[in-house]
Amino acid sequence: MSNEQVQVRFSNPAPLGLAGFALTTWLLSMINAGWFNGDSMGMVLAVAMAYGGTAQIIAGIMELPRNNTFGATAFVSYGAFWWSFALFVLFLHDKVPAAFVGWYLFAWGVFTFYMWIGSLAAARALQLIFLALWITFFLLAAAEWTGIGALHAAGGYVGLLTAILAFYLSAAEIINEAHKRVVLPTGVPGTTR
């Protein structure tokens, strides 16, 4: 029997979680921005349950043995957001007042705001994702409270930006790891990445 320690290296689940978040956010934001109408929501709901919801929750659980509290909290929470959104649209949409939907979105904005503060110690790309996301939630909440369509569209466009940023960071983590060098910079503090 050897006294050598076996070092276990867990794979990085962040690209999976980011991609699930990005794709689902992109699809919903196209509707919010007014590019498509509610007839397209069925595809959003399918992706919300399968990729945005389930894949993100799996990514969050995979963050636990890596001792990444931030990643686990973010991915499980936003995975649960997508599941709650899908269940709401499927079963409760016409039974909940718009003002209460505004509070739902506002509460997610508050959560996202403090996650953004936590992200300030991480890569610049991640900081930008959370910055754009809390702005998206607050714009959409304000749209529900006021009924102003321009706020809803603005939330859609900022959501599209959020999705692009999340796709970028997912791609950067995959491509940089595959090439064993920085191909797509992420702005990691204290490094040239």
Residue pLDDT, tens place only, 105-139: 999 999 999 999 999 999 999 999 999 999 999 99
Helix or strand holding residue 21 (H, E): helix 14-32
Position 57, amino acid: I
**What angle do the packed helices 14-32 and 56-63 form, to 10 degrees?**
150
With both helix axes pointing from N to C terminus, report the angle between 14-32 and 69-87 in degrees, rounded to the nearest 10: 40
Environment class of residue 52 by beta-carbon count within 10 Å: exposed (0-12), middle (13-18) or buried (19+)?
buried
The domains of the chain are located at 14-179
The pLDDT of residue 156 is above 90: yes
Residue 82: pLDDT band (50, 70, 90) is very high
What average pLDDT score do residues 136-158 get? 98
| Cβ 160 vs Cβ 31: under 8 Å | no
**What would the pLDDT profile of 37-48 be if each residue is shown by its tens digit?**
999 999 999 999
Instruction: Indicate the DSSP class of residue 120.
Output: T
Higher pLDDT, 27 or 4: 27
pLDDT confidence of residue 9: 77
Q: What's the rounded Cα separation, in Å, for the pair 136 and 159?
A: 6
Q: Is 105 helix (H, G, I), strand (E, B) or coil?
A: helix
Q: What residues have CB less than 8 Å from 58, skipping those under 6 apart?
A: 13, 16, 79
Q: Is a pLDDT exceeding 50 seen at residue 192?
A: no
Mean of pLDDT values over 132-157: 98
163 and 155 Cβ atoms separated by less than 8 Å: no
